[in-house]
Amino acid sequence: MLFPKQMSEVELIVPSKDLVAVTRTLSGYGVFHQVDSAYLGLESQGPNAWQDKAGAYSTLERRIQAIMQNVGLAEEYPVKAEIESVVDMDAVRPGVDRIEEEVKGVSDQLSGERKRLELLESQLRQLEPIADVDVEVGALKKSSFMHSILGVVPSANISRLRTSLLRVPHVFFILREDAQKPVVWILGIRSNSDVLERAAKSAYLNPLSLPDEFGGTPEQITAMLRKEIESAKQRISGFEADLARLGGSYKSELQKLLWDVHISRVMADAIVRFGQLRHTYVVVGWAPTADLEDLTSRLKEASREILIETMATSRSGHHAQVPVALTQNKWLKPIQMLVGTYGHPSYGELDPTLLMAFTFPLLYGAMFGDLGQGLVMLVLGILMHNKIMMKGMQGLGLLIAYCGVSASLFGYLYGSIFGFEGHLVEEYLHFHFEPMWISPMENILSLLSIAIDVGIVILMFSFLLGMLNSIRSQDWAHLLFGHSGIAAFVFYICFLAMLGAFLGDTALAPRVAVAINSLPLPFTTLLAVFGVFVMFGGFFRNMVEGHTLIEGKGVGGFMMFLIQSLMDLIETVISMLSNTLSFIRVGAFAVAHGGLSLAIFSLAGEEPDAGFWITIVIGNLFIIGFEGLIVGIQTMRLHYYEILGKFFHGGGMQFEPLKLSSSQEET
Amino acid sequence: MASGVSGYAAISTRVRAMYSDLLTPQEMTRLGDSPDLPALVSALKNTPYGKYLSGIKDNEMTPRRIILQIRNRLADSYSSVVQQAPEQTRPLVKQLFRYFEVGNLKAVLRSIQTVSSWNSDVAAWDRVREVLFPFGAFASIPAQAMVESGSVASAVDLLHGSPYEATMSFAMKRFSAEQNLFPLEVALDLDFWRRLWAEIKNLKGKDREMGGKLIGSLLDLNNLMWVIRYKIYHNLSEEELINYTLPFGYRVRDEDVRAIAAGADIASVVSRIYPNIHDVNTLLDHPQSGLPKLEHLLKQQVMRQCVSAFIGYPFHIGLPLAYLLLSDFEIQDLVVLVEAKSSKLKDEEFRPLLLKTTLI
């Protein structure tokens, strides 16, 4: 739970005859992360037929998906899908061809009818600007002396079209101004008809093409077009019903075909990345050590002659190439999502999910403490998680529910319910509700001080986790002299002692800092000594790692090194101060929450009439939506900038096992 | 909105660093001295293009593959500039980058139109993908699905929702009637440049001035070559020439284009616009060989504009644009070298085609 799953490297030598069976096992079990053997220097021998097969399966899969889309079927696999073998293309293709042909016949007609409908509607739109002109449109074509062009032209081309017509006498009307498809009418003398036509054509003017059956005035044509549009819509409905019927009758066959071709494609894709020797294939990858025994026995069932070599990888040291499989827990999924946004843990590194599952709701609740609003968030989160509202946001729903629980608890501690606090509860809600711990509005400085204390504890814990990570990765240089190493940690403790001494017994003084300062230790001397370690951290790290002591000493010489080291120290002090004070926002937002509620009350007035309660309800909704979001962002900010940066580096490679369907992942 | 010194401090520094990584004319000459293609690739591996070529195995060392890998560097440069450019200039850079997507779109359409005899979809896509510019995450066209769709009309249907949908819907009417890609390609070109010019007009101050100067110079080159080629090779009428060209640019004015369209002497118009290009008459006497030479000289004019952008006040979009254009020209030179070495051309056959010379 605290660390990614232990992984083992797996190397397989597979006889050619068992290739498909082994691939089926690897893909079907869903625990094997494949490594492309090309990266290991294994070249395939000659042209790879599997490459072509993979391409052919991929094309066929897309064709089946297109058919399913056409008949309105979701891309689903059969309910009881068996993982069989790579299907023979010649066996499945005729089935796909047959259904495709039948579906295509109807879908082509549907598409043709839709295009016709679009054309009719566009003709109708084009006629609208001249609907009140009482002339026969056909007569324009039959004119003896005039040449007329009526049509739609891209708006960007109008100016150029006008320029191109400058050399011949003409009249140019824009009958309908439209950002996309303006309707224009060009009229010139018949002897210039070639110039007019060429200009219109090269400006991409699409002439209004009314079929011969549409004669008469625009008004008459419009009536005919409307009638045609109606019958086109009816035909479209008919074709859609035909497709739906086809979808119904071919549903199971298409799902089976899709499944067969899909697994064949996945297996062919995997085989393409195998290393090929003369009579055998080399398969390399990773699997969680816990699943190794089961995987091995399945592989041996698939091939008696398979050679399997496994090598467990210890979590210590650097393992950039090891894929990282995190423990799946559906209750922690939203927190994992938040951690994933920051980075994917590397192998051997502490997975901060569990820590964040505790601190995220804690800090959120502390900033947004309100019993009533918290319960509303809890209900909202449960509804979202159970897909009753805002479907597709189950993860976020769970996170909102956690935050809601925490906000309710803190609301109970702060004595706040839907913004009502203290005497307001008795006055308007008619029951007694005292803060169980502290009222933010009445103890502002104390709350700010407590917030800093909480921040200090979290930061110290983060330092310790950073050191733990360094120990696990045997990174002794960073353990001793890194930014979250021992020297920096002791320096931070001394820094807190100084802060405690400086603030003394003021209301804002963090109690942890004051307590540290009261310890009988020579903090000033320690601060100076460890300040030197922090200042020359790079130098000492190089010393431990056996690198050149002063990097780039040729550039600027020793003085430059000293200046850089001094800047490092100043930056460290500033960042420690800002990291610590950053947690003030936890208290500040708790106070701001109370202040925002007061603002709502001042808008609502004093009389508890309907207007008062409407304002209170709207105000509460506003606070939940607006402040709730801001507090969420602040909580994320605290984690990403102040907490995770101390011990979490990320950059791990995600474990992506071979699998045949997305449902395996969910399983 | 960041602009001026604050907005450009980081990107100017980065672009200057990238600019210093461009190949010098001397390096280009040395690359040209490579005896064959493997030697050229080996020499290129010691340049900033090395990391793009290191992944290719010897058996994959085809000219197309090499060119594709080399172009990845330009794609990375665009990606980097898009991310770092001040917000108000990003649409311009993104639109300029679309130049390569327009090229991809044309290549896809040509492949469908001209290679209908290919046996299987797999072969068709595999053959097309290598000539496409590696557009990556910026791509807005489903190239593979288009190639596999089998017909231009179906492929264009797949452009629904892309920036090319409206333009193609107009142009498709003409394609259906003429069964010729020319109207589609012209429509795509005109739309691309109109959008690009509109993005420049959205800028202010120095950004607008430098954008107009550099992109305008590039547009001049295209506009001028269009009108000349359409007139000489396609014998188009005055009104068609006007509709197939654009009325804006940096040096080339609408009157110039219209004069050529109306039948004025092309050489005198070109000489008036570019007095430092000599013997235009001679070039136009033999258009088959002369027009590529003229285009070559016009490209060098654009390169000079780009180089001059690096002199003087640096906090404007001119620097990133100039770098991107120079990078593109450099890759055009490398393409010439790769093709020349793979076809075993003699020095005198390919060296005059190189844009980057000591004269720039």
Q: Record the pTM.
A: 0.54
Shortest CA gap A153–chain B (Å): 8
**Angle at which helices A523-535 and A557-582 cross, to 10°:** 120
Out of B166, B170, B247, closest to residue A206 by CB: B170
pLDDT digits (tens, 9 = 90+) for B331-359: 999 999 999 999 999 988 899 899 987 65
The C-alpha atoms of residue B45 and residue B20 are separated, in whole angstroms, by 17
Distances in Å between the alpha carbon of A516 and those of A465, A497, B83?
A: 20, 5, 46
Q: Cβ of B45: how many Cβ atoms within 10 Å?
A: 14
With 0-12 CB in 10 A as exposed, 13-18 as middle and 19+ as buried, what is B263?
exposed
Provide the 3-class DSSP secondary structure of residue B345: coil
Q: Mean of the pLDDT values across residues B312-332?
A: 93
Q: For residue A271, which of A18, A9, A8 has the smallest C-alpha distance?
A: A18
Mean of the per-residue pLDDT values of chain A: 86
**Nearest residue of B to residue A54 by CA position?**
B122
Q: Residue A170: which pLDDT band, with cuts at 50, 70 and 90?
A: very high
Q: Judge: A204–B170 Cβ closer than 8 Å, yes or no.
A: yes
Residue A221 above 60 pLDDT?
Answer: yes
Q: How far apart are CA A212 and CA A218, in angstroms?
A: 14
Assembly ipTM: 0.89
Orientation angle between helical segments A523-535 and A537-545, nearest 10 degrees: 70
Kindly give the residue spans of alpha helices, DSSP state H, lying in A71-208: 89-127, 137-141, 158-164, 193-202
Residues 6+ apart with CB under 8 A from A478: A470, A484, A485, A541
Chain A interface, mutation test: which of B54, B164, B243, most A Cβ atoms within 10 Å?
B243
Q: Which of A56, A59, A160 sits opposite B242 (nearest CB)?
A: A160
The whole-angstrom separation of Cα B44 and Cα B33 is 12
**Looking at chain B, which residue has its C-alpha nearest residue A168?**
B239
- Helix (H) or strand (E) holding A152, with range, is strand A146-152
Residue A666 has pLDDT above 80, yes or no: no
Beta carbons of B213 and B316 less than 8 angstroms apart: no
* Cβ atoms B81, B11 nearer than 8 A: yes
Using an 8 Å CB-CB cutoff, list chain B residues near A165.
239
Task: Give A434-439's long-range contacts (Cβ < 8 A, gap of 24+).
Answer: A436/A412, A437/A413, A438/A413, A438/A414, A439/A414, A439/A415, A439/A594
* Distance between B330 CA and the closest CA of chain A, angstroms: 31
Task: State whether B244 and A202 contact (CB < 8 Å).
Answer: yes
**pLDDT per residue as tens digits for the range A337-392:** 888 888 888 887 888 998 899 999 999 999 999 999 999 999 999 999 988 887 77
DSSP symbol at A542: H
Rg for chain B (alpha carbons), in Å? 21
| Cβ separation B258–A198 shorter than 8 A | no
What amino acid is encoded at A115 in this protein? K
- A167 and B238: CB-CB below 8 Å? yes
Average pLDDT for residues A171-197, to the nearest whole number?
87
Judge: B170–A164 Cβ closer than 8 Å, yes or no.
no
pLDDT at site B240? 96
Top residue of B241, B242, B253 to mutate, by most chain A CBs within 10 Å, is B242
Put simply, the answer to whether A163 touches B242 (Cβ < 8 Å) is yes
pLDDT the model gives residue A359: 93
3-state secondary structure (DSSP) of residue A418: coil
pLDDT of residue B18: 86
φ, ψ of residue A216 in degrees (nearest 5): 110, -165
Two tokens at A425?
């509860």
Residue B239 is nearest to which of A62, A153, A195, comparing CB atoms? A195
* Cβ–Cβ pairs < 8 A, chains A and B: 68
**Would you tell me which residues 141-180 of chain A have a C-beta closer than 8 angstroms to some C-beta of chain B?**
152-154, 156-157, 159-161, 163-165, 167, 180
Q: Does B185 touch chain A (CB under 8 A)?
A: no
Q: Do B183 and A204 lie within an 8 Å CB cutoff? A: yes
Instruction: Write out the two tokens for A119.
Output: 């054309």
Tokens of A205: 């003017």
Phi, psi angles (nearest 5°) of residue A173? -115, 140
Residue closest to A536 by CA, chosen among A495, A568, A577: A568
What is the pLDDT, as a whole number, of residue A171?
Answer: 92
Residues 6+ apart with CB under 8 A from A539: A549, A550, A561, A565
Taking Cα atoms as reference points, which of B150, B162, B172, B149 lies closest to residue A119? B172
Residue A160 is nearest to which of B148, B167, B247, comparing CB atoms? B247
Neighbours of B288 (CB within 10 A): 8
Residue A18 makes CB contacts below 8 A (sequence gap 6+) with A302, A303, A305, A306
| CA A551/CA A543 separation, integer angstroms | 11
B120 contacts in chain A (CB < 8 Å): 56, 59
Supply the DSSP string of A17-65, one letter for each residue: GGHHHHHHHHHHH---EEE-GGGGTPPPSSS-HHHHHHHHHHHHHHHHH
Looking at the predicted structure, is the pLDDT value of residue A212 above 70?
no
Residue of A nearest to B157 (CA): A111
A665 touches chain B (CB under 8 A): no
Average pLDDT over residues A535-540: 86
Report whether pLDDT(B257) > 60.
yes
Task: Say if the Cβ atoms of A204 and B126 lie within 8 Å.
Answer: no
Tens of pLDDT along A615-626? 999 999 999 998
CATH 3.30.830.10 fits A139-209, yes or no: no
Q: What percent of chain A has pLDDT over 90?
A: 34
Facing A202 at nearest CB: one of B121, B191, B243: B243
Residue in chain A nearest B166 by alpha carbon: A180
pLDDT band at residue A129 under the 50/70/90 scheme: low
Beta carbons of B239 and A164 less than 8 Å apart: yes
What integer pLDDT is reported at residue A144 of this predicted model? 81
Using the structure block, give the residue that is written with the tokens 């040509």: B110
Q: Does A184 touch chain B (CB under 8 A)?
A: no
What is the Cα–Cα distance from A567 to A582, expressed in whole angstroms?
A: 22
- DSSP secondary structure, A233-296, as one string: HHHHHHHHHHHHHHHHHHHHHHHHHHHHHHHHHHHHHHHHTSEE-SSEEEEEEEEEHHHHHHHH
Contact B122 A55 (CB under 8 A): yes
Nearest to A199 among B166, B174, B239 (CB): B239
Task: State how far the Cα of A351 lies from the Cα of A3, in Å rounded to an integer.
Answer: 5
Domain boundaries, chain A: 7-95+241-323, 139-209
B positions 42-61 inside 8 Å of A (CB) = 57
Please judge whether A195 and B171 are an interchain contact, meaning their C-beta atoms are less than 8 angstroms apart. no
Judge contact between B145 and B158, C-beta under 8 A.
yes
CA distance B161 to A162: 30
In chain A, the residue whose alpha carbon lies closest to the alpha carbon of B193 is: A156
* Strand A307-312, strand A7-15: pairing: antiparallel
Torsion of CA A428, A433, A434, A439, to 10 degrees: -60
Q: What are phi and psi of A270, to 5 degrees?
A: -65, -45
pLDDT for the residue numbered B46: 86
Tell me if B240 and A202 make a contact (CB, 8 A cut-off): yes
Tens digits of residue pLDDT in A543-589: 887 777 776 555 556 777 888 888 888 988 998 888 898 999 999 99
Which residues in chain B have Cβ-Cβ distances shorter than 8 Å to A56?
120, 122
**Run of H or E residues at B300:** helix B287-309
How many other CB atoms are found less than 10 A from the CB of residue B139? 16
Chain B environment of A164 (Cβ under 8 Å): 238-240, 242-243
